[in-house]
Amino acid sequence: MSSTTIKSKTDNQVSRKPNFFVGVAKVTTGTFLSLTLLTTSTIAGALVGLAISFRNLPDVRVLKNYVPSQTSYVYDIKGKLLATYHGEEHRTIVPLRDMSPQLKRAVLAIEDSSFFSHDGVSPLGIARAMKVNIQSGGVSEGASTITMQLVKNIFLTPQRTFSRKLSEAVLAIRVEQVFSKDEILESYLNNIYWGHNNYGAETASRTYFNKSVKDLTLPEAAMMAGVIQAPEAYSPLANYKIAKQRQALVLDRMEILGWITPEEATKAKKEPLLIGKSTAWQKSKLPYVTDAVKVELAQRFGNEAVLKGGLNVQTTIDYNLQKQAQEIVTKAHRRIRSRGVRADQVALVAIDPRTHFVKAVVGGVDYEKSQFNRVMQSRRQPGSSFKPFVYYTAFASGKYTPYSSIPNFSKGYRDGGGLYRPENYGGNHGGGHVALVQALSSSLNIPAVVLGQRVGLDKVIELCRLLGIESPLAPVISLPLGPIGVTPMEMARAYATFASNGWQSDTTMILQVTDSMGNNILDNTPKQKLVLNEWATASLTTSLRRVVQPGGTAPNANIGRPAAGKTGTTSNEKDVWFVGYVPQMSVAVWIGNDDFKRTLGKGVTGGGYAAPIWRQFMRTALKDEPVLQFPAASSFTRPKPVKKK
């Protein structure tokens, strides 16, 4: 590069001695002086002549479409930065017009002050480099212009050889013939390495000074320019004293060139700088969220686009609500552990039923200890929280209302050659008949199994698929009791459609994605469609409201406004759930252990432990939300039963 060492002040202040050359070639002083008088056109012409020998060099016109690796950024719903995705090169491209004029002048001063007057190579720079190289017997000085540095970074290897330097010069001349000076400078400033995995001026500026490159002051710009020659060694993050020396070198050069006044240079040298911190490998502010978003982006666009494509991703997540959810889960876990519950994990997910946007995802108690996202990845038995799918199927058939009667007893069913006889919680074999609303609010097992046989388990599975449950399901007789694993995300998504009274759009954590040029490449604006019968859905909600009232299994979920939900407690208390909703929010809470064999403890239920966590989160999430009513079933027409042929 054309920048000098810390000890020298400018390119024009190289020390001169009577005997210029003492080296292998013993070139005379007159010969060297004659070289320095060569014009740009003479050297350029000579290099063009040599270009015949370089026909295999890259076609510089590919730079027109060259897009270097760029960092992808992830934001919450309100525009707060959550995380960045990138490979080795942390870079954000900005146009030249959006870069500080001070930075442009500082870089040109120290790297290539004749940039706007040469044709890609600098005659004085070449002559000076020849002197140094002849003295050293090798290639120790490069005499590179900004254009030469650009082509080296993009097209060539960093190896210091005469042939590579000649190739560099030829390519630089070609670039100058095809591109404007502003285009070359813009590409250079966006491509070069500035230290700490920052490529390009924008990410470097945000690392060193916590501001955009367009806002750099003269002292900051001079320090940035001084870093270029040896970014890791001259970085203010590594050695502030050396960085200030480099800054002074740049300011002196700018003063000599007449680009700043002596007063400006002196003032800039004295001004202390507030140095930032590396932004290249910062931790995500919401890791459970951004990990899940990264997976979805990779599935849609490929991992290469995520790490190098410069995507701008706006998620549906509310940062403040997510942080509150994490705090609630962490404190609740400590509380239930102190009560003797042997639970290693708690997970929570919240979805807005009006849009099906995911608002919060807490995949576990402590991300630092376990990155496994139980909301998205863990299939656990939902227990009785699965029952609403059976009851909705019954209501949608037109044959049942919430007050229809169902047997609370069973002689058993043949299942795989054996006899399966359901029992209510606690080993109760039941008796008599009970209204569906009572059976559901009391979470009776026998009526749910009987009802499942009457409406058809294939119909129940068909409903689950419609509501977004993708986990494997089988029409086993015990299916209504939730013996087959599903994820908390699937449960919250399905209940969200109940909360919207049958209206559904695609559940997502990503609102929109734009590419590096600002083009919209993904738009998840909700497209609501009615997928459930409104009378049947309203009837189900009416029944589930009884669950959170006195006499139901989850009075601990009562939040003082219309709400509906269902508890879930599996055999031997290995998993406990509460999944519930209001018109503005559907939330699933799960408590359990990653080891499927471990029990939580005798008597641990969804109503006793998961419901209070749900209640606390809902009170927080709905603090500024109006109280909304669910639609009444009487507002809709009951479906007519389908007669068998």
Supply the residues annotated as catalytic: 111, 384
Give 575's strand partners: 592
- Whole-angstrom Cα distance, residue 324 to residue 620? 8
Instruction: Pick the closest to residue 387 from 350, 442, 466 (CA basis).
Output: 442
Q: Which tokens go with 163? A: 């042939």
- Whole-angstrom Cα distance, residue 307 to residue 90? 9
| Burial call 162-172: b when 16+ CB within 10 Å, e when fewer | eebbebbbbbb
- Dihedral of CA atoms 245, 249, 252, 253 in degrees, nearest 10, equals -170
DSSP codes of every residue in 317-380: --HHHHHHHHHHHHHHHHHHHHTT----EEEEEEEETTTTEEEEEE-SS-TTT----HHHH--B
- Dihedral of CA atoms 135, 136, 142, 143 in degrees, nearest 10, equals -10
Q: Which amino acid is at 137?
A: G
* Order of strands, sheet of 585-592, starting from the edge strand that comes earlier in the sequence: 357-362, 345-352, 585-592, 575-582, 564-569
DSSP codes of every residue in 594-645: SSTT----TT--IIIIIHHHHHHHHHHHTTTSPP-PPPPGGGSPPPPPPPP-
- Whole-angstrom Cα distance, residue 492 to residue 488? 6
CB distance 36 to 143 below 8 Å? no
